[in-house]
Structure 1
């Protein structure tokens, strides 16, 4: 009874528009009261705020957010698009492919999906439309390319997942590299299919000589430096993810200064990072309260016991869980999905013998689909507000990429080594 009341209260509060952090805190506090009385609820509410975010590893989130903000104001994303356009621009749909490659590159140095979507929308969509690209095609490829920041390290979503699930942050971040490349390839193949169906939607862009291609790489050093300071140092063990996040933020700041970014812009980026970090801290505090409530009710153990008695094949259970993520993605953002589901899904998948890093990557990929599907579709709203395009136009442009992503999920399910191999090579 208490479990149902807590969930219904949480859903009701979110439906009426209450911020996720407050909804989680209220539902968790009321749930703890129903399970253990006033003294238990009051004690948990008093102790949780400090205990939730005072860990050394939580420093990663504000550092990665700060890094993403400095990258945005420095214009590094524009350089990456110019390099990609020079190398693949002449291929059918070349500017769309360049957008996907830029999305992967931006994801590797930012970790913020909405920041990537906003940057790509302002950088690439006007250029594609000016070249004669179909607006739906342009918007769709930008919407899906922005989601690569969820998967390719440094990913804020994967940091939160690892910390909430008590997993290795370093291994989970590195596990996103190969799937991230596969998602990029999936975007490119989807664009090629769309152009094959409608060649008039993507005219060929101008070609570039080999000299121009080689010279364009002179701008790539900033991306290589940032990638090295984060992903490479984590993979090699030179620094912990927390230390790498600080190195990345410092490097991004120095690059922004070297590129002539004003003090006002730097302060604005820092302030935006503080605001976002505080919002996430409040969500994490609320999440811990709700997780404590779920732990007291033994919801995960009850679900595991029920499924064990039914004898349902574990593959079907995995597919059902992924379908639930697909549905949830239509109504809430990825962070809220992870907070609600990790306390139940992770013990369930562990009891079934699945590799938890593999399950986490599947979950993140399903989360990528969620930011493209109505009615929420966060990346769609960001692109629409940035470009002035209609929401339904952007949603229609993103739909083929949803299908492509679902096919990729099937591939990752069939071949788990695509996810598990790279982190298994870490010491």
Structure 2
């Protein structure tokens, strides 16, 4: 059997294993080792499976991941998330759908210190859902807002997804983090507009809060100063070349740690935050190790190069190929989680898209936006499952119903990313 055919069989086996519930890390490692054994022999397969985990862990660029993850979990345990929600509620609670808008704003604030989509969804299911229900919000709207708000963590720096994209395709993590700011901010604005439109059409779905004075609003700002500090350090430090992404993440982690100690966080809560950081980091690194073994197997087969040459040689406009890739990711998002989807597809898709002349930073923004959409679309919208898991009384179909209006906004955002690439490359190009 020729190597390219072996590569196709390997991809088919990997998809089969993932669809039937084998974790991506183990499915990718098993398929990769098996494929390398078939092509190069047992000694090479065992040697590489031992070398690759170390080679892909002993990397300075990877050290940014556990730091970003630690920022989010420590902020959550220190109550910074709750304060962000209270501040957002004070500022926009009076607006149409004010409490829903406050949830979106607070989710953006948590995204700016977290980068973890499911963590954000879990936090606001506990914090915001009872408050919206108490005020008489429609359950579908409330659940949909929380699920969609969690997706902001995929783009707003610090974004674990953008870091992973940079590691997989070997692109500048600093440029990717800076590039995530504009689409993240635009996503926030579009979500708020969707809430306004829904509430205008269904005013009984979202009662307004009482008006607050400007003094009350200003009093909330010191409570969210830590979030502004973290954003300033990460974006400002990287953009102006004062720090590497890892250095900015380390300083931001120190700021959050100091704030947690200032708030006299209990040692048990500190321990919980650090243990969650360790668990999440270990899970991500296991996926990286498994997929890197699979990528090495694909390199031996020559399949990525074959696919790139074939697609680049097609006599069709590259826009049609881009549309096909977008549709593929939207379909994959219905059955795979975002991390697995990126790790499994990019080794083949990325070189193809670069061969067609697309910008790697812009393509990263597009892919992460598609991953965002995937975590809220049925049947495997993981953020929707998080809401349902924490609140079993809210049916899964109710959550998906609440998400539906926001998917219209996502289509608009995709059109902007595709139609105005310079808008999203302005900041990283001036880095």
TM-score over 0.5 for the pair: yes
Query: 1:305 corresponds to which residue?
Result: 309
When structure 1 is superposed on structure 2, of 41-50 and 90-99 the one drifting more is: 41-50
Select 1:211's aligned residue among 208, 215, 229.
215
How many Å separate the matches in 2 of 1:275 and 1:83?
30
Counting only pairs closer than 5 Å after superposition, residues 28-39 of structure 1 correspond to structure 2 as 28-39=32-43
Query: 1:71 corresponds to which residue?
Result: 75
Q: Contact 2:312/2:356 (CA < 8 Å) preserved in 1?
A: no
Query: 2:413 corresponds to which residue?
Result: 408
Q: Contact 2:112/2:231 (CA < 8 Å) preserved in 1?
A: yes
When structure 1 is superposed on structure 2, of 237-246 and 153-162 the one drifting more is: 237-246
SS in structure 2 at match of 1:147: helix
CA displacement 1:57-112 (0-9 Å, x = unmatched): 11111111111110110111111111111111111111111111111111111111
SS in structure 1 at match of 2:418: helix
Query: 1:424 corresponds to which residue?
Result: 429
How many Å separate the matches in 1 of 2:69 and 2:358?
31
Query: 2:402 corresponds to which residue?
Result: 397
Q: Contact 1:5/1:31 (CA < 8 Å) preserved in 2?
A: no
SS in structure 1 at match of 2:313: helix
Q: CA deviation at 1:136?
A: 0.5
Corresponding residue pairs, total? 426
Select 2:372's aligned residue among 368, 374, 378.
368
CA displacement 1:202-222 (0-9 Å, x = unmatched): 112111112211222232212
How many Å separate the matches in 2 of 1:36 and 1:406?
45
CA displacement 1:268-314 (0-9 Å, x = unmatched): 21112112111211111111101111112222221122123321210
How many Å separate the matches in 2 of 1:263 and 1:168?
37
User: Normalised by the size of structure 1, how large is the TM-score?
Assistant: 0.97
Structure 1 unaligned spans of 5+: none
SS in structure 2 at match of 1:193: helix
Q: Contact 1:136/1:393 (CA < 8 Å) preserved in 2?
A: yes
CA displacement 1:131-158 (0-9 Å, x = unmatched): 1111100111111111101100101111
Structure 2 unaligned spans of 5+: none
CA root-mean-square deviation: 1.3
Q: CA deviation at 1:237?
A: 1.7
Q: 2:153 matched to 1:167?
A: no
Q: Contact 2:29/2:291 (CA < 8 Å) preserved in 1?
A: yes
Q: CA deviation at 1:223?
A: 1.4
Q: Contact 2:96/2:200 (CA < 8 Å) preserved in 1?
A: no
Q: CA deviation at 1:417?
A: 1.6
User: Normalised by the size of structure 2, how large is the TM-score?
Assistant: 0.96
Q: CA deviation at 1:39?
A: 3.2
How many Å separate the matches in 1 of 2:363 and 2:153?
18
Query: 1:226 corresponds to which residue?
Result: 230
Q: CA deviation at 1:253?
A: 1.5
How many Å separate the matches in 2 of 1:407 and 1:225?
31
CA displacement 1:227-282 (0-9 Å, x = unmatched): 22322212222211111122222221121111121011111211121121112111
Counting only pairs closer than 5 Å after superposition, residues 185-264 of structure 1 correspond to structure 2 as 185-264=189-268
Query: 1:23 corresponds to which residue?
Result: 27
